[in-house]
Structure formats: C-alpha cells, structure tokens
Structure 1
C-alpha cells in the first residue's frame, strides 16, 4: 500500500482493476451523480447465464469520475446504515432490472451495510436465565457464525472442536493448492468488513487465519474448547437439557450439560476410504487428501491421483510440476469450469481501492454473488425444449457448448482426451468444479489420464480392470466424503431414546429448513439436509449468518415466552420435505441425464438430500425468522 496519498496514475490503475458495476454502484451511492445514474447497464446472456454489461466508453467515464472523487475523498467512511428504500433502489440498479418486493427482502442484506446485517436481538430487556448454555459442535465457519450470534446476545455457550485448531474443512485439508472455489469477496462474513485478502480465491492458510481473526475480535476465542470431540448427546426430557459425552485430547471422557445444542459439524466431516481389494497390501504411501501434511513427498515419485472432484483438480498441477510420473485416475468425467481471477493475487492498487473507496467493498460483495442468482434457471428441465431436440433447456445447452469448447481448447484439440473428458450428463447436474489448470496439465508428458476402472492394489501399485498394472509409490485418494451420515460420528438421541440414525433409517436425512428434526428438542443443525439453495446469490458464510440468526431468534423467543424446550412439529417438517421433493422433481438432479447415480446431492434412496431445490429468495423467506407456531413448546419449570 502507498504510505502517502496516491497519485493519479495509481488511482487510474486501481479503478481499471475494479469491477465496473461495483465501482459504478459505489460511486453513485456516495455522490448521487445524475450522470452516473444515467449510464445504461443491460443484462445479456453469456454461456447460459445472465450478466450485467456496461459499454466500454461508459466504463471509462465511470473510472474517470471515480479517480476525480478519490483524489479528494479517499478513505471516507461507508454510511453506517442505509434505508430500505435506498437499498431497494440501489439493488435494482446494480442488477439492471426490476425485482419483485418479496425478492428484495434478501437482496437488500447482501451488500452487508451496517455492523451486523443478520443479527438476532432480544425484543425487550430480557436476558438468558442464569446457567442457561448452548453447546456448539464444530469450529468451522458455521460454528463461528453461531458463536458470534450468541456472543452479541450475551447467551452463554461453549464451542467444541475435535481438532487442535479452528477451521473445519480448512483445518483438515492442507493438500497442495487447496483454496476456496468461491470468490473471497463472498466467502466471508458480512459483519467483518475489509479483511485484507491477498488473493481473489483465498488459500487454505489465509482462510484459517481469517477464522482465527474473527474469533479473537468477537470474543469467541475464550469460549473455544479445542481437542474436544463430542462423542454423544442425549436429551433429558425431565430436566430439559442435553447430556454430552466429550472426549478430551483423545485421552479422557468428560460430561457436559447444555440446554441447547447446535451442530456445525459440516457436510465434509467424514472422508471416504478407498474401497478396492488389496489396499492393505500397498507398500508405498497412501494418503487421503484430508491426511496431507508437509511430510508427504511427491517430488520425483510415481504418483496416482484417484478422483477428479474439486480436490483432485486443485492439486494435480502442483503435483505434476514436481513428480516423475502422475496417473490421473478418473471414474466419472466432470464439468470443470474456468473462473476469472482464480489463482491470481489481488493487486496492490485494487486492495487499496477496496479499503478506501466508500461503499466499494459492499457492492463488490454484492456483484460477486450476482452470477449465481439465476443459476436455478439452468436446472429446470424444459420438456418442450427437449421435444424439439434439446438436452435440458436453452441456458443449460448453451453452457454445455461453452464448456465443450473450453475442454477442446485446454487440451489442444486432442480428440483422445476430449472423448474421455466430456461428460455424458448435463452441466450443473453435479457440483461444478473450478479448473486449476487441470485440463492443460493432462497434456504434459509426465501425466496420463486413466479411465479404466481400478480392480485392485498390490504392494507395487494399481491393477486396472483391463489387467494393466500401474507401478506407483504414492497414491493420493481424492475420493470425497460420506455426505449421507449427517452429524456423524456424534450420536444424538432425542425423546424416548430414539437416535437420528433410527429417525432417518427409511428415507435418509430429513429436517425442517435443514435445521431441526421432530422429536429432538433444542437440537439445531447448520448446513443440514436440504438447506443451501441451488441459487443463493452469495457464499456459504452468509447463509451461516442467516441460519444462525434463525436459531438464535428461536432461542430468544423460547426464553422470552417462558419455555424451556422447542421441537419442530412433525407435520410441519413433513410438509416442508413434501415441498422439497415436489420441487426437486422439476430439476436436473433427478432427471435421466442428471447424473443422479453419480451425485452426492442425491442419497441412496434416490432423494435430493444435500441442497434445497428452491431459489435463494425463497429459502431466505422461509428461514429469515422462526415462527413459534411451527414448534411444540415445553413450559419452563418454576
């Protein structure tokens, strides 16, 4: 950063690196310049998605006006609060369209004006009863979001994390080039402004540092209990409490009592093991990506990477740069997509602009999420389009054409690779993977794409189904996680001793709004089954803020109403899941060309389980604030 006031050349570089739409919005909000308001922005279709486009000549005008503004006003504060009417006006200007009032309720919160855009509050002078406590299980983003909510309310809690540090998946995953595949601008909490990210897509170490920063700044660190593995939790209906059994430091068991439990153990807590014959006989190193450490050596070795999801795609380029030979074992082709700015540092000038242009941080955050707002349109199966020769719908087929061209370009037109890399299912049917030079790396002389199934392992390597033997001394398993056993390995028992496994035995995991289950009072989940919407308009940290507010407001309403326990009504949960199943039937995930048998979104019973098949606006409307009529309430004991 410059130590003194930047000169015009520096400012011109800074605004040239900015997102033009975010810069336009920040400048207009700050100056109310009618010339900026008059600059046209239009929505266009690009590769199956809508984008807001501004003509190059108008972008130059915006940039010049921004430079003139910054010369005299750099570093001025962003307004602490913005009215609802102004936000609605600005959001529609940013999106270059008229937005229904019901959809604006969520959108006006996404730029994250104000200290805590998703904060729960007491309705009066109430406070939690003495001795009331919440147990939060899991120290990733979700657990930290819940802890900050409780901290603001003054409700007692402990945050239990089974590892020796915060981070969740960002502690467990340390493999080469591990990073978020969502822009840093939206992979952050709305209450923590202007964190100095160094890259457009933050690396693991920086994400971990961010969580440490948040927990220290907001007082959570004092309530954190590391190396505390919650093994089981049992509901005591008579006492109205949960009894937790916790393994501490892997050595001793302790008991803990809490009135409420919030599980934030995450979707990717339990790694899958490589399930092929002969694994135990392999004499080399076999490492799941969650077990990676600095001790793993791949330089000069013969390496097999099994799996081509986000993890396998991220690490290949770095491993191939130093290994002697790399076999990339692909079971199912993926749609792997480019992302602008992926792997690129945030330039010094842009970093300065983010910190010194009033309102730019907010609108950069908003614009970064806009590309996913209409994602659901790519997933709706259009029967008329299919009858006329299409595959899914017009947008999805346009995306397919773009991605097929991208694959061909990345592999230099090599048909032998193209034939094995283009999936036989539609784009977006599975979670999209971001390209980290994966396709191009397959063309290197020391890299081979292997699409034959793995039959077995022996002490020297891998036998393929056609009998070929790959001699390797390091096998990296990037085979994913068990996403069906929610909250595992902690065992929860609700009323009458019924476990979650028993409650979910027939149809897989189900919950109301992904957060609570009938028969399990005062037990809430973050990122539970059918929670995250298919089109969110923002990153997961924002949803953790939304869901944790719902839970915190539920606790507040329960206490203020003189109750000690709340459990969602069975009929309410059943109706929500009926809507989930009905809406899921319209989407690509369960269609014949939707890879439903190769998709962790769909459970073994053929049901969409991981995500909510709704728009972000609809999920927000359902989970913005709890309705106590949805719950069976137990009066507090006098």
Structure 2
C-alpha cells in the first residue's frame, strides 16, 4: 500500500495495517487544503510549517495577492478599528506602526512581510476559487474543485480541509428598491473604484457602521457636501486614550531599541481590551457607567442636540460593534453634512428617497452597507450522507467552538460560528483556533484515524448553552447587528460565550470526548511494532526523563495556568458580579 494512503473502513479479516510495521506515532503523509490566504490562512501555513513534517499544503485564494480584506478594501480612510499594536500575531510584533490605527496598506504590508520572512507564499495558488468540496468517505479525503480565472476546473484532494475565508469578505449591494437605476456614480466601500475623484461632489453615504465611520471624515475635506443616510443609531467610541495619532520619532525609537518597553506597551493594550469584557454583560456596573460616559462624550463631539437624539442609542454599549470614531462625530455635526434618518424608501435615477420621504439628489452614492455575515458557504460543501453545509446552515449556522460542525469530517474553520471576534483581543483567539485544529491534525497524522468530527450532541448542547448565555449579554438586545446576521432579535451566531481569555482557557486542551473518531482498522494499530520514536533516532537521549529536579508542567489546570500567566495567586473561591470567577 502506498505511503500515506488510507485503507477502507471495511477491512478483510486477513488485513494487516501498515502501521504495525512502524514505530508508535509514525507520522504518515498529511495533505491540507486551506481556502483563503488572508491573515488566518497565513497563520495556518506558518504553524503547520513550524511544527509538522511529512505534510503537503495548498492555500487557494481568489485574489492576485495575499492579505484578504486588507488587500481588497481600498476606500478612503480604511483602517483597523483596534490599535495596530494589538493587530499582530502574538509572536510577531511590529515596532514601526506609523499610527495608532494603521491603514489597510500598512496592515497588508505586515502580513506580506510575514509571508516573505517565513517563505509562506510557496504554498499559495493565487487567482484560484474553490467551487466545490465533497467528502469521499471510502478514501477518507476531501475532493475539491478549483476554478482558475479562465473558468477551467482543476480537481484536487486533501485529508483535512480548512476554511479561512474570513467573516467580512463577501460584500453585497443593499437590497434597496431601484438601486441599480441610479444614473450617478455608484460605489461600495468593499469594491472601491480608486479612479473615482470625489472632489467637489455631492456624496450620498448609506450606512453608519465601521466603514462609514472611517470614510466620512476621510472624504469630507474634498467633497462639497455629504448626505448621510442613517437607519439606526450606533455607539461610536471617542475614548481619549485610544484617539488616533501618528507615533513620534521618540516613540518609534523607543519601540525599536527597547523590546521590553514595546512588549509592555503591547501587553497594556491587550490587558485594556480584556478588561472591557464586563461591558458586554447587560446588567453589569461597567455597562451602566460606560453607557453614561460614552453618551456624554458623544454629545461633546457632536455638539448638536438634534443629532444627539438621532445618533446616540438607547440600547447597551456593545450590542453592535463599538467603533472608534476618529473624527466621525465632529464631521457629522459639521456644516458639510446633512443627516437623513430612517430607512431608505427607494433609490431613484438622481438620488435617494430617505426616511423623510424626500428625494435627495447626489452626484455619487456610496454604499457602506457591509457584508453577508450569514456564514453560509458560497459553494457546495458536501459532507456525510450527502449533506450540503449550505442547506444545513440555511436557517442558522451551528458549530463546535467556532472550529467545526457535525456531519463534515476533517473540515475545520477559522472564525466559524460563535468565535471570539468581538469579545476582546481578536488575533490571539484565532491563534487558539489554529492551535486546536493542528492538535487534531497531529492525532490524525500519528494515529490510524479515518476521520474526526464534533459529535452531534456536543454541537447541539453547545448551541443550547450559547442561546441561554447570550440572554445575559447586550448582544441579545433589540439592535440590528451583524453579530445576529443583520437582524435585530435573532440568535447571536457570530460571537463566543465569554471573554477572549475565557476562550483561550476553554480551548487550551481539546475535550476529545466531544469528538467522534472513526478509525481504519483496529484503533490501536498506531502502537505499531513496539518501538518508540526515541529509539528510531540514534542521536536522541534515550534517558531524557532523568532529571535533577521536577521541571515538568503542572498537571492541574489551576496551577498550570498560574505558571503561564504568572499571577502567583490562587483562584478566588468566591465570585464577583454576575457570578463570573476571576483570577486573583
């Protein structure tokens, strides 16, 4: 039998598994296909390359370059909505960010440099779009169809398939009557035409989410007027410590020459994010005091009583994603901007009939209306028993910890349903997902596992827990949010049921009892020929376990965690507000 091939689930009685002639935990050939070469896809490539041997990896990306959203989004003012020094991988700092909220081009450069540093582009095939993936249970592999720019289809296959397409990469036009009857220049922030000159133009801007908040102050100096169409209020963070500024030469020099000072700065930012978690608990004191404080700060920035009544929400801070409004509120209150509140009735050839029932003619109409966040795949993903993930998730997506779902063996996701993408620091949570997936990949490679998937009961009970927990949070309040697939009162299908630190602890060790493992042959065939891996390497230390002191990891969660986070204190036996246990 060729190396790396997988025997059928049905074995004749005389079959001798090939692993029986190899030492324990022999690493068979592993092939992984990743859909997407954005930041998550690159992280998988880096970690697989760093930790694994005897593997093959392909990243298929629809674009001509890596970077995902940071390559695609080119609208004026596009930037990260968290401080740039927190938008790096935990192990790969960047000490020369130009400003607190770095622009897309600079962020793209960061990930491009990582790919170059670790030679990751060798795994990427650009201008390739995955059009179908189907699980072949007999062979124990995914059969993947990939289209090139000319429409030709190439067949590929892999043992493990990973979706790293990102949450905000499938832009769409708003469903507004008459949109494409408009005779002026029609733009979408996610599909920006950089050749369009807005100078002196009367611009209509639909939306007040993150992209609208960034684009308005960026275009205001050049245009003659902006008519901003706002359907509902939103919290805009004008918190002083996070105000935008360009780093000074002194600051940049400090970061570059004093790694410890830079590390402490990064840690302070991360700690600040994690400290925000109680805001999302709707009855917490932090939620109440933050709402009062942000209300006053928004009033101070707007300096306009009419706009205060229209734009400051009545629902809790964080029900929709909190966005740092660098210059947004001041611009909204300026003479250059007219705010039209309420749902748009229709689009005409000349402009927009707003919530006030009047037609507002504009030269350019910008749709800052976001993305499809349903998480439903855009191509067939066929799992066991012919199940199509598009149909399974048509009503509501369900996952296990945002990583996998039942019925789709050896299929994993980065940022799947109920991932911690709005609960605190983001990239470290995605790192945790990649680590978790690769732990399962390691088991597949070193045991005779046919496939692995979360159990039906585990997924269902996690969803039950999610729905019950979310009732305690501001996300469940009556605000329209992409956390709830752009609904006002649906289930929270995007976010995790706790803080980012909570997620790191929840995923630190896989709960293998929540997973279904199917084996080829006897599950103990991986024990092999009786030899250890140590004995196959004559240069290894065959007495590695002999030591002068016990320097091994602690075997209880509590002491092991303290050895990592270095608190040096015991876990508090009593719970503070809302019953949440905190580390002392």
- TM interval, shorter chain, is 0.7 to 0.9
Is the 2:340–2:356 contact (alpha carbons within 8 Å) kept by the matching residues of 1?
no
Residue 305 of structure 1: how far off its partner (Å): 0.6
1:553 to 439, 460, 464: 439
Correspondence 1:129 to 2:129:
no
2:325 to 409, 419, 435: 435
Q: 1:476 to 1:494 in 2, by over 3 A?
A: same
| Secondary structure class of the residue paired with 1:589 | helix
1:509 to 380, 385, 397: 397
Counterpart for residue 239 of structure 1:
139
Counterpart for residue 372 of structure 1:
273
| Secondary structure class of the residue paired with 2:231 | coil
Counterpart for residue 255 of structure 2:
354
Residue 533 of structure 1: how far off its partner (Å): 6.3
Q: Distance in 2 between matches of 1:465 and 1:572?
A: 45
Q: Distance in 1 between matches of 2:135 and 2:472?
A: 38
Correspondence 1:607 to 2:500:
no
Q: Distance in 2 between matches of 1:195 and 1:410?
A: 31
Is the 2:88–2:94 contact (alpha carbons within 8 Å) kept by the matching residues of 1?
no
Residue 158 of structure 1: how far off its partner (Å): 0.6
1:140 to 35, 38, 62: 38
Q: Distance in 2 between matches of 1:609 and 1:275?
A: 22
| Secondary structure class of the residue paired with 2:430 | helix
| Secondary structure class of the residue paired with 2:194 | coil
Q: Distance in 2 between matches of 1:347 and 1:246?
A: 47
Is the 1:533–1:613 contact (alpha carbons within 8 Å) kept by the matching residues of 2?
no
Residue 195 of structure 1: how far off its partner (Å): 4.5
Residues 409-455 of structure 1 show CA distances to partners (whole Å, capped at 9, x for unaligned) of: 1123x212212121121211111011121111123222111114321
Is the 1:430–1:595 contact (alpha carbons within 8 Å) kept by the matching residues of 2?
no
Q: 1:345 to 1:509 in 2, by over 3 A?
A: same
Deviates more, 1:581-590 or 1:141-150: 581-590
| Secondary structure class of the residue paired with 2:345 | strand
Is the 2:128–2:148 contact (alpha carbons within 8 Å) kept by the matching residues of 1?
yes
Q: Distance in 2 between matches of 1:342 and 1:239?
A: 55
Residue 145 of structure 1: how far off its partner (Å): 1.0
Correspondence 1:149 to 2:35:
no
TM score, norm. by length of structure 1: 0.75
Is the 1:553–1:625 contact (alpha carbons within 8 Å) kept by the matching residues of 2?
no
Is the 1:515–1:527 contact (alpha carbons within 8 Å) kept by the matching residues of 2?
yes
- Corresponding residue pairs, total: 495
Correspondence 1:400 to 2:300:
no
| Secondary structure class of the residue paired with 1:291 | coil
Q: Distance in 2 between matches of 1:185 and 1:200?
A: 8
Q: Distance in 2 between matches of 1:457 and 1:439?
A: 26
Counterpart for residue 108 of structure 1:
none
Counterpart for residue 246 of structure 2:
345
Is the 2:26–2:447 contact (alpha carbons within 8 Å) kept by the matching residues of 1?
no
| Secondary structure class of the residue paired with 2:339 | strand
Q: Distance in 2 between matches of 1:419 and 1:322?
A: 28
Correspondence 1:313 to 2:313:
no
Counterpart for residue 478 of structure 2:
595
Unaligned residue ranges in structure 1 (runs of 5+): 1-123, 383-392
Deviates more, 1:611-620 or 1:547-556: 611-620
Q: 1:156 to 1:195 in 2, by over 3 A?
A: farther
| Secondary structure class of the residue paired with 2:212 | helix
| Secondary structure class of the residue paired with 2:162 | strand
Counterpart for residue 74 of structure 1:
none
Residue 128 of structure 1: how far off its partner (Å): 4.1
Counterpart for residue 149 of structure 2:
249
Q: Distance in 2 between matches of 1:621 and 1:269?
A: 29
Is the 2:34–2:161 contact (alpha carbons within 8 Å) kept by the matching residues of 1?
yes
Q: 1:257 to 1:232 in 2, by over 3 A?
A: same
Correspondence 1:519 to 2:407:
yes
Q: 1:617 to 1:407 in 2, by over 3 A?
A: closer
TM score, norm. by length of structure 2: 0.81
Q: Distance in 2 between matches of 1:125 and 1:179?
A: 49
Is the 1:374–1:535 contact (alpha carbons within 8 Å) kept by the matching residues of 2?
no
Counterpart for residue 352 of structure 2:
462
Correspondence 1:572 to 2:458:
yes
Is the 2:188–2:368 contact (alpha carbons within 8 Å) kept by the matching residues of 1?
yes
| Secondary structure class of the residue paired with 1:270 | coil
Q: 1:606 to 1:194 in 2, by over 3 A?
A: closer
| Secondary structure class of the residue paired with 1:475 | strand
Q: 1:195 to 1:635 in 2, by over 3 A?
A: farther
| Secondary structure class of the residue paired with 2:498 | strand
Is the 1:141–1:544 contact (alpha carbons within 8 Å) kept by the matching residues of 2?
no
| Secondary structure class of the residue paired with 1:519 | coil
Moved over 6 A (4+): none
Is the 2:484–2:491 contact (alpha carbons within 8 Å) kept by the matching residues of 1?
yes
Q: Distance in 2 between matches of 1:546 and 1:632?
A: 21
Q: Distance in 2 between matches of 1:204 and 1:636?
A: 47
Could you say what the CA RMSD is over the residues aligned between the two structures, in angstroms?
1.9
Q: Distance in 1 between matches of 2:352 and 2:472?
A: 41
Is the 2:317–2:474 contact (alpha carbons within 8 Å) kept by the matching residues of 1?
no
Residue 127 of structure 1: how far off its partner (Å): 6.3
Residues 520-579 of structure 1 show CA distances to partners (whole Å, capped at 9, x for unaligned) of: 00000000001116543x2x2222211111111110012222213111111122222222
Is the 1:299–1:324 contact (alpha carbons within 8 Å) kept by the matching residues of 2?
yes
Is the 2:238–2:298 contact (alpha carbons within 8 Å) kept by the matching residues of 1?
no
Unaligned residue ranges in structure 2 (runs of 5+): 1-22, 526-584
Counterpart for residue 583 of structure 1:
469
Correspondence 1:543 to 2:429:
yes
Q: Distance in 2 between matches of 1:142 and 1:456?
A: 38
Counterpart for residue 382 of structure 2:
493
| Secondary structure class of the residue paired with 2:453 | strand
Q: Distance in 2 between matches of 1:187 and 1:494?
A: 34
Counterpart for residue 300 of structure 2:
409
